[in-house]
């Protein structure tokens, strides 16, 4: 009997040893972010309070940086999730202004827009543990402190990303379907009432979609193509869609890139060029680490975006559950907010979803960005 128990314990130990060793490796693996020294990047913590802070955006308004982020116990949906609004003169010392939530629901992916000198906030409500938002809500503030109650955008099932304008009068926004698979372009003059302009894409698990204007007035969109949505292993055919349309933005021309699957994109323009801060998947893509897989390593990274290609430029100091940036160009510098797991380690994405993550600010000279761009 005793010998049998010993054999059983040895057998169980042999079974448990490989997963335990793998977990230990994941937790202790040192970070290997590749931060190009030419960029002269400075980074620092903006929020490091032990929560799972994520999904940032940032804007410059009335002589201050305004930052918003989600604060939750973990990456997945939680009724305890709130959106926190903060303000700073220098992007280093932040004052908390407001917390917004939807009672009994999760809320995520907040985006700012400055429309008619009023600060608009768009966000995605979500029910349940899985991150499956079902629509878009908005709130408006005249001072960043007091916010109107959330109201629902009158396009059920469409998930708004970040509104953009060329003239301060007419706004455009990309939205993707809540069950994945397609994206559209909408327009508005008041930020509340939106009309559909065109379909950007249909197929391949189209998810998060952002837009930015090219110097000649054309619109460029990028979309996260999952192919098999929410597959934990990822998909070898996953990619980034690049779509371009001339006014009136009804006919789109397409290219794809497998440099990465551009999750949480923040597109921006500078000096006639387009760039993105978004999630990047470095390293070899194997059976369990296909593009978008939860067992792979992740980064927040900087890219040049062209009509027919995506060019990787550099990582930011980051790891695991990370990205979803906001970008402000000011005084010759790029300021970017983003979230990340422990930057001293290199957890796989799935581990980072379950542990704390912090909000960081990156600052770099725009001259250095242009020198590095191809």
Residue 372: the pLDDT is 96
Residues in the chain, pLDDT under 50: 1-2, 4-10, 12, 14
Tell me how far apart the alpha carbons of residues 199 and 182 are, in angstroms, rounded to a whole number: 8
**Residue 60 parent element (H or E):** strand 52-61
Mean pLDDT of the chain: 95
Residue 8: the pLDDT is 41
Tell me how far apart the alpha carbons of residues 161 and 221 are, in angstroms, rounded to a whole number: 11
pTM listed for this prediction: 0.94
Fold topology of 31-372: Neuraminidase (2.120.10)
Handedness of CA 50, 51, 52, 53 (dihedral sign): negative
Tell me how far apart the alpha carbons of residues 152 and 46 are, in angstroms, rounded to a whole number: 30
Residue 20: the pLDDT is 74
Pairing of strands 64-72, 195-202: unpaired
Residue 21: the pLDDT is 76
């Amino acid at each position: 009997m005793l010998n049998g128990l010993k054999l059983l314990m040895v057998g169980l130990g042999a079974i448990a040893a490989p997963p335990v060793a793998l977990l230990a490796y994941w937790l202790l693996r040192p970070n290997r972010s590749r931060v190009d020294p030419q960029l002269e990047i400075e980074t620092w913590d903006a929020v490091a309070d032990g929560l799972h802070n994520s999904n940032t955006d940032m804007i410059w308004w009335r002589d201050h940086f305004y930052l918003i982020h989600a604060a939750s116990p973990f990456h997945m949906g939680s009724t305890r999730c709130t959106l926190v609004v903060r303000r700073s003169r220098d992007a280093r010392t932040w004052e908390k202004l407001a917390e917004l939530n939807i009672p009994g629901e999760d809320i995520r992916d907040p985006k700012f827009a400055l429309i008619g000198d009023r600060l608009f906030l768009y966000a995605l409500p979500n029910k349940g543990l899985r991150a499956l938002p079902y629509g878009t809500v908005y709130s408006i503030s005249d001072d960043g402190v007091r916010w109107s109650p959330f109201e629902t955008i009158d396009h059920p099932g469409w998930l708004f990303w970040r509104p953009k304008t060329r003239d301060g009068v007419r706004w455009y926004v990309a939205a993707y379907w809540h069950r994945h698979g397609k994206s559209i372009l909408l327009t508005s003059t008041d930020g509340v009432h939106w009309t559909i302009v065109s379909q950007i894409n249909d197929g391949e698990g189209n998810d998060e979609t952002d837009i930015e204007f090219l110097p000649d007035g054309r619109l460029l969109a990028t979309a996260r193509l999952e192919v098999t949505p929410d597959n934990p292993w990822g998909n070898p055919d996953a990619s980034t869609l690049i779509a371009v349309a001339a006014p009136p933005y009804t006919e789109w021309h397409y290219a794809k890139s497998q440099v990465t699957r551009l999750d949480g994109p923040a597109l921006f323009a500078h000096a006639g060029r387009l760039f993105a801060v978004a999630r990047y998947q470095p390293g070899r893509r194997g059976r369990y680490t296909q593009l978008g897989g939860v067992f792979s390593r992740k980064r927040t990274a900087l890219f040049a975006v062209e009509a027919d290609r995506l060019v990787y430029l550099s990582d930011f100091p980051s790891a695991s559950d990370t990205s979803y940036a906001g970008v402000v160009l000011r005084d010759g510098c790029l300021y970017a907010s983003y979230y990340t797991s422990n930057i001293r380690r290199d957890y796989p994405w799935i581990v980072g979803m379950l542990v704390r993550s912090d909000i960081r600010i990156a600052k770099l000279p725009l001259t250095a960005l242009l020198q590095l761009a191809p």
